[in-house]
Amino acid sequence: MFRADGDLHITVTMPSIEVGTIGGGTILEPQAAMLDMLGVRGPHPTSPGANAQKLARIVAAAVLAGELSLCAALAAVCFLSLIFGLM
């Protein structure tokens, strides 16, 4: 996390994430339904790997949201501990 032009800039790096939109469990109905809902099921018609890249970005965004939520929860606990003298 760092401040960029007065705004907070947060990134997440997941160098070893492996996702797929064809093969494996993607033929199962619940998995196929979720991939359809996200718009990434099957191969991309013109750009191979584009759907997998999009799915990886979606997963990373969900991870980032969880990390941000965790940071907020930790900050709130620290703040309350300071106010009530629990630390």
SS (H, E, C) 13-52: CCCCCCCCCCCHHHHCHHHHHHHHHHCCCCCCCCCCCHHH
- SS3 helix, strand, coil % of the chain, rounded to 5? 55, 5, 35
Which pTM does this prediction carry? 0.77
Q: Specify the CATH number for the domain of residue 6.
A: 3.90.770.10
Range of the domain at 22: 2-84
Distance of alpha carbon 12 from alpha carbon 27, whole angstroms: 30
* pLDDT tens digit sequence for 8-67: 888 899 989 899 899 888 889 999 999 999 999 999 999 999 999 999 999 999 999 999
How many domains does the chain fold into?
Answer: 1
